Amino acid sequence: MQNNSALYEIARALLVSGKGLLAADESEKTMFSHLKDVGVAETDAMQRTYREMLFTAPGIEEYLSGVILYDSSMRDKTTDGIAFPDVLASRGIIPGIKVDLGTVPLDGFPGEVVTNGLDTLPQRLAEYYEQGARFTKWRAVFTIDGDTLPTDACITANAFLLARYAALVQAARMVPIIEPEVIMHGSHSLARAEEVTMRVLQLTFATMREFHVDLQGLILKSSMVLASDGFPIPTAPSEVADATLRTFHLSVPHEVPGIVFLSGGQATKRSTENLDAIAKMGAQPWKITFSYSRAIEEPVLATWKGEEANVEKAQKVLLARCKHNSLAAQGRYVPQDDA
C-alpha cells in the first residue's frame, strides 16, 4: 500500500488556521470575459499581467496557503522570467492546478453534464508535478430543477469520475481537491438545496471508499447550502450555517481533513458573512476555510482595470479581501471594517 504521509503533510499545510485558497483557475474564455467586463483588452498578455499582479501582491502569503492555477498560468512567467508556480512557492504558497477539462452533456439526460478529462489525466499529472503543483482540483456540476434534477444517474456518473480522479492524483503524489458543486442558480428553496447537497456528498464519498481513495489525503471543496438566487426569501447567514453544517455532519466522513468553500456566485461580502457564520458555530471534525475566485477577484479587477497606475491599489484590495475571508474562516470577521 502506498505511504501517503507526504499527502497528509500537504493537506495540513493547505488547511493551516487563518489561511485559505485563491482559486485563480479560470479558463482563458472565462478570464477574457472578466477582462472585457472591466474594459480590458482580451489578450494573453493582459491575462498574464493580471495574474502576475495577483501572485506578486505584497502580504498575500499571510492569508493564502495555496493558489489553484489553470494550465496556461501554470506555464506562464513573470516579466522577470520566473515561472508562476515558483513565484508562489518562494512565498510559502503551495501551487495547485485545475485538471478537469470542463463539462460535456450527459447523453440521454437533458440539462445534465459530466466532467471531461480523465483519459489524459495521468500524463498531465506527471507534467504538473514536475512544474511544481502539489495539489489539484476537479469540478463536477449539479443543477437543481424542481424535483427532477439532478438525477441519480448524473450524481453516480460524476461520483465515479471524482473517485477515479482522486485515486489517480494520489498515485501521482498530489492532494486531490474534489469539487461537487450544487449550482446556486434557479428557483429552489434552502430545503431542496440541502436535500440535493446531502445526496451528492453521500454518494460521492461512498464511491470514494469503493475506489480505495485515502480520505485523509483529500480535501472537499463544497458549495454552501443556499436557497437559489431566484428564491423570493433570502437566506440569512445563520440559516446557511445551520443547513450547511447539518449536511456535512450527515455526509462527510471525519477522516477528511478539511473543507474549503467555493463562493458559487454569491456577492463578495455575502460569501464572507456566510463563512463567518459557519465558523462561529465552533470547531468541527474538519478544518474549514475558503477557496474563493470571483468573490475575491471581482473587486480587484474592478479596481485594476488594466492600468499600471492602479496596480498597487488593486493589490491592496486583494489583500483586504483575503484578510476579511481569513478572519471569517476563524469566526472573527468585522463587517464594519469591510468598507
Residues with catalytic annotation? 179, 221
Cα 214 → chain centroid: 20
Any idea which residue has 483529500 for its cell?
Answer: 218
Which is nearest to 89 in space by CA: 116, 107, 65?
A: 65
8 A C-beta contact, residue 13 and residue 94: yes
CA distance 332 to 334: 6
Q: How far is CA 213 from each of CA 4, 179, 204, 261, 335, rounded to the nearest angstrom?
A: 11, 15, 11, 21, 40
Please report the sign of the dihedral spanned by the C-alpha atoms of residue 79, residue 313, residue 261, residue 225: negative
CA distance 213 to 85: 27
Please report the sign of the dihedral spanned by the C-alpha atoms of residue 243, residue 249, residue 250, residue 253: positive
